Amino acid sequence: FVGSMGDLFCRGMKDEWILRVLHFIRDCEADNKFLLQTKNPNRFQDFIEVLEEVKDKIILGTTLETTWGTPWSKAPPTDSRAEHLRILKRNYGFKTFLSLEPLADFNLVTMKRWINFIDPEAVEIGLENYTDFVDRPRDGKIFDLLRWLKHKEIPYVLKENLRHLEDSLTFSSW
């Protein structure tokens, strides 16, 4: 994960810094995959030529905390993030990743639709760990999302604060 706890593609990041990282990835001879995750996936478009040069070495990701507004965040709206990642997957063939963390309450139908059209290689899901500023979804709604992901054969990783749902999922019947 490039820039963990930071956002390389945020509005304030200088182009030259982003290019330095992308050129490092391009020149890296190790057999690594680099996860480039941002809450501003539209900015990937500004570097599309270089990203295409390293397409086999990267996975492009974004965070979708909810299907509704995020008044606590300065990031672009989640529906915009979902759409930009969809375009990168469909039009350019990039591998994609979704982080649903910190997961706030969401509309299950909308979230499934977004995940379906982004077609990610994997989804990571976790609740807010540090504050209480988001409305947490009910366990039942998260469980329904996990069952759907399992049914669609989309790999997912649960953060520690949601692992209690995994046991229930293991024993649920289809």
Q: Is 11 exposed, middle or buried (0-12, 13-18, 19+ CB in 10 A)?
A: exposed
In the chain, where are the structural domains located?
15-171
Return per-residue pLDDT of the chain as tens, 174 residues: 677 667 899 889 999 999 999 999 999 999 999 999 999 999 999 999 999 999 999 999 999 999 998 767 888 899 999 999 999 999 999 999 999 999 999 999 999 999 999 999 999 999 987 777 678 999 999 999 999 999 999 999 999 999 988 877 765 544
pTM of the predicted structure, to 2 decimals = 0.91
> Closest Cα to residue 112, out of 152, 158, 159?
152
